[in-house]
Amino acid sequence: MAEKLNLYKCEICGNIVEVVIDGAGTLICCGEEMKLLKSRSTDGMPEKHVPFVEHMGTSHVIKVGSQPHPMTNEHFIQFIEAISDDRRYLKRKYLNPDEEPEMVIKCLEEDDFEAREYCNIHGLYSNKENE
Ligand SMILES: [Fe+2]
């Protein structure tokens, strides 16, 4: 069963979808079952991926990661998103190569959201552990 806000990827064409409202069905793309993307919350490679949040007054800056992640045409962060802990609000920023791997948000309470990002090569990372 697909759960709200989970991300799924087609391993054939590369489509990535996010579940807006969950249902009992199986997500299919290119004739195959889509793969659930599980986020990681630890870094095990030279490029740093785990998002972290800097609080600046009423603004929060989500950065990827503790050392800025590369932003080249071949290897870059495709999006960053913030999801409120009650799972009712979502904000996403799509990034292009050569941009800073960060997003500023102003509308969510401090420490009240999950920050996650997607690297085109290394996949999904979160600042919170998911089971
Ligand atoms: Fe990466």
Q: Looking at residue 104, which CATH number applies to its domain?
A: 2.60.40.730
Say how many Å lie between the CA of residue 77 and the centre of ligand 1.
Answer: 7
pTM of the complete model: 0.91
Statement: residue 127 has pLDDT above 80: yes
Q: What is the whole-number distance in angstroms between the Cα of residue 118 and the centre of ligand 1?
A: 8
19, pLDDT greater than 80: yes
Do 58 and 121 lie in one domain? The reply is: yes
| 40 CA from centroid of ligand 1 (Å) | 12
Same domain, 31 and 90: no
Total domains present in the chain? 2
Residue 81 located in a structural domain: yes
Write the CATH number for 30: 2.20.28.100
User: Do 118 and 59 belong together in one domain?
Assistant: yes
73 conformational bin, left if phi > 0, alpha if psi -120 to 50, beta if neither: alpha
Residue 102 CA, ligand 1 centroid: distance in Å: 14
Confirm whether 84 is domain-assigned.
yes
What pLDDT is stored for residue 57 in this prediction?
83
Distance, CA 96 to ligand 1 centroid (Å)?
14
Q: Where are the beta strands (DSSP E) in the chain?
A: 7-9, 16-18, 28-29, 32-33, 35-36, 52-56, 59-63, 77-84, 90-94, 102-105, 113-119, 123-126
